[in-house]
Structure 1
Amino acid sequence: MDNVTPLGGDVYEIDTKMAGYTGITAGYLILGDRPCLVETGTSTSAPVVRDALTSLGVGPDDLATVVVTHIHLDHAGGVGDIAGFYPRAEIVVHEKGARHLANPARLMASARMVWGDQLDVLFGTLSPTDASRIHALGDTGAIDLGGGRTLNSHYSPGHAKHHVGLLDSATGDLYVGDAAGVYLPETGDLRPATPPPDFDLRTALDSVALFGALGPQRLLFSHYGPVADVTATLERSAEELRVWVDLTRQAHTEGLDLDHAVAMVRDRTRERYAASTSDDEAVRERFEMLSGAPSNVAGILHWLDTTKPEA
C-alpha cells in the first residue's frame, strides 16, 4: 500500500491520511509474536489504518495491543473504532487519559468548543471503549511485544498531562508523540506543540531531557516520521520551546491580545523554518496544520496567565 513504509526492525509507518491529507499523522505497527499498533489516528482514519494492517497480514484476531501516546484526537480518536475492528486487542493509555477513552463525552465536548464544525471533518467522533479492555499505565510500564521484546512507557507531560513516550527494547526506537514537537520531513523543520490547557514549559523541557537520557537510537514522530539524529533533534526541540515561550512572554508583557501575539510570534519565527518560506503552498499549509501558531501561542499564554511563572 502507498501509505505503508517499512522502517526496519519489524516496524511499519502508516500514514493515517488524516482528513484526507498525507503526511499529517503517522501510526506505527510493530510486528512480531504480539503485534502492537502505536497511535490510531482519528476516528475517520480508522478504516485506513485497518486496511494497512490487513495488507501487513494482521487480521481481526491478530492485533494484541493498541497503545496511544496521549488522548488528543489526532492520536487516539480512532481507539474505539480500532477496538471494534480488533476485539482481542488490549488498549493501553496513561492513567490520566483512561477514563476519557471509556467515556469520551467530556473530551468530545471540549474538542467541539475548540474546533466547532471542523471537528467532524478533521477528527470525527471518538467512540467509547469497554473499560475492561483498557490498561492504564502509571509513570512507567511495559508492554509485551513477544519474544522478550518490550515497549517501555515513560510519563512525559508538558504537552499533555496524559502523555507517554514509548521505547522499543529491540530497536531503540522512541515514540515521542507530541512531547518533542512536530517534524516536517520535507524540510527538516521542527516546531513545538504547546496547545492549551496542559502546556507547561518546565515540565515540557524535563520530558525532552528524559527522552535524551533514555538513549534512543531513533525518534519516531507521530507528526511525522523517523529521525535518526537524536541528540541534535532533541536539542532543537528544547530550543524551539524556549524561543516560542520567550516571544510569547514578550507579547504578553506588552499586553497584546491573542491575534496580535500570534502575528508577532509568527513574524519573528518565520525565518527559523524552511517550510514558512517554501514556494510550495501545500508544504506551508501542512506545517501550519501540524503545529499552528494560534494553538501554540494560546497554550503558552494560558500557561503564563495561570502560573505567573518567573522570567
Structure 2
Amino acid sequence: MDNVKALGGDVYEIDTRMAGFSGITAGYLILGDRPCLVETGTSTSAPTVIDALASLGVGPEDLATIVVTHIHLDHAGGVGDLARHYPNAEIVVHEKGARHLADPSRLMASARMVWGDKLDVLFGTLTPTDAARIRALGDTGSIDLGGGRRLDSHYSPGHAKHHVGLLDSQTGDLYVGDAAGVYLPETGDLRPATPPPDFDLQTALNSIKLFGDLGPQRLLFSHYGPVDDVTATLERSAEELRVWVDVTKQAHAEGLDLDHAVAMVRDRTRERYAALSTDDPETAERFELLSGAPSNVAGILHWLNKISPETPS
C-alpha cells in the first residue's frame, strides 16, 4: 500500500490520511510476536489503518496492543473503532487519559467547542472503549512486544497532562507524540505544539530534556515521520518553544487580544519556516493544520494568564 512505509526493525509507518491529507498523522506498527500499534489517528482514519494492518498480515485476532501517546483526537480518536475491530488488543494510555477513552463525552464536548462544525470532517467521533480493556500507565510503564522486546513508557507532560513518550528497547526508537513539536519532512521545519489547556513551558522543556536523556537512536514523530538527528532536533524543539513563548509574552504584556497576538507571532516567526514561503500552498495549509498559530498562541496565553494574570489596561 502506498501509505505504508518500512522503517527497519520491524517498524512500519502508516499514513492515516487524516482529513484526506497525506503526511498529517502517522501511526506506527511494531511487528513481532505481539504486534503493537502506536497511535490510531482519528476515528475517520480507522478504515485506512485497518487496511494498512491487513496489508502487513495483521488480522482482527492478531493485534496485541494499541497504545497512544496521549488522548487528543488526532492521536487517539480511532481507539474505540479499532478496539472493536481487534478484540484481543489491550488499550494502553496514561492514567490521566484512561477515563476519557472509556467515556469520551467530556472530551468530545470540549473538542466540539474548539472545532465546531470542522470536528466531524477533521476528527470524527471517539467511541467508548470497554474500561476492562484499558491499561492505565503511571509515570513509567512497560509494554511487552514479545521476544524480550518492550516499549517503555515515560511520562512527558507539557503539551498535555496525559502525554507519554515510548522507547523501543530493541531499536532505540522514541515515539515522541507531540511533546517535541510538529515536524514537516519535506522542508525540515519543526514547530511547537502548545494548545490549551495544559501547556506549561518548564514542564515542556523538562519533557524534551528527558527525551534526550533517554538516549534514543531515532525520533518517530506522530506529525510526521522518523528523524535520525536526535540531539539537534531536540535542541530545535526547545528553541522553538522559547521563541514562541517570548513573542507571546510580549503580546501578553502589551495587553493584546488573541487575534492580535497571533498576528504578531506569525509576523515574528514566519521566516523560521520554509513551508510558509513555499510555492506549494498545500504544504503551507498542512503545516497550519498540524500546528496552527491560533491554537499554539491560545495555549501559551492560557499558561501566561495562570502564572501572570495581570495585563496593562
- Shorter-chain TM band: over 0.9
For 1:233 and 1:40, locate their aligned partners in 2 and report how far apart those are by CA, in whole Å: 24
Q: Deviations along 1:100-156, whole A, 9 cap, x unmatched?
A: 000000000000000001000000000000000000000000000000000000000
Aligned to 2:95: 95
Matched, 1:39 2:39: yes
User: What letter matches 1:294 in structure 2?
Assistant: P
User: What letter matches 2:236 in structure 1?
Assistant: R
For 1:102 and 1:307, locate their aligned partners in 2 and report how far apart those are by CA, in whole Å: 32
Aligned to 1:278: 278
Using structure 1 for the length normalisation, give the TM-score.
Answer: 0.99
Aligned to 2:215: 215
Q: Deviations along 1:17-39, whole A, 9 cap, x unmatched?
A: 00111000000000000000000
Number of matched pairs: 310
Aligned to 1:173: 173
Aligned to 2:128: 128
* Alpha-carbon shift at residue 245 of structure 1 (Å): 0.2
For 2:216 and 2:60, locate their aligned partners in 1 and report how far apart those are by CA, in whole Å: 32
Mind listing any 5+ residue stretches in structure 2 that lack a counterpart?
A: none
Q: Deviations along 1:74-102, whole A, 9 cap, x unmatched?
A: 00000000000000000000000000000
Secondary structure of 2:43's aligned partner: coil
* Alpha-carbon shift at residue 57 of structure 1 (Å): 0.0
Q: Deviations along 1:55-74, whole A, 9 cap, x unmatched?
A: 00000000000000000000
For 2:60 and 2:277, locate their aligned partners in 1 and report how far apart those are by CA, in whole Å: 45
Aligned to 2:142: 142
Secondary structure of 1:45's aligned partner: helix
Aligned to 2:225: 225
CA root-mean-square deviation: 0.9
Q: Deviations along 1:211-269, whole A, 9 cap, x unmatched?
A: 00000000000000000000000000000000000000000001111000000000110
Secondary structure of 1:119's aligned partner: helix
For 1:70 and 1:308, locate their aligned partners in 2 and report how far apart those are by CA, in whole Å: 28
* Alpha-carbon shift at residue 306 of structure 1 (Å): 1.1
For 1:252 and 1:69, locate their aligned partners in 2 and report how far apart those are by CA, in whole Å: 31
Matched, 1:202 2:209: no
* Alpha-carbon shift at residue 40 of structure 1 (Å): 0.1
Matched, 1:292 2:299: no
The runs of at least 4 aligned residues of structure 1 exceeding 4 Å deviation read none
Matched, 1:245 2:249: no
Of 177-186 and 278-287, deviating more is 278-287
Using structure 2 for the length normalisation, give the TM-score.
Answer: 0.98
Matched, 1:81 2:81: yes
Aligned to 2:259: 259
Secondary structure of 2:136's aligned partner: strand
Mind listing any 5+ residue stretches in structure 1 that lack a counterpart?
A: none
Aligned to 1:8: 8
For 2:168 and 2:245, locate their aligned partners in 1 and report how far apart those are by CA, in whole Å: 32
* Alpha-carbon shift at residue 276 of structure 1 (Å): 1.1
Aligned to 2:185: 185
User: What letter matches 2:191 in structure 1?
Assistant: R
Aligned to 1:64: 64
User: What letter matches 1:89 in structure 2?
Assistant: A
Aligned to 2:109: 109
What fraction of aligned residue pairs are identical, expressed as a percent? 85
Aligned to 2:55: 55
For 1:245 and 1:78, locate their aligned partners in 2 and report how far apart those are by CA, in whole Å: 32
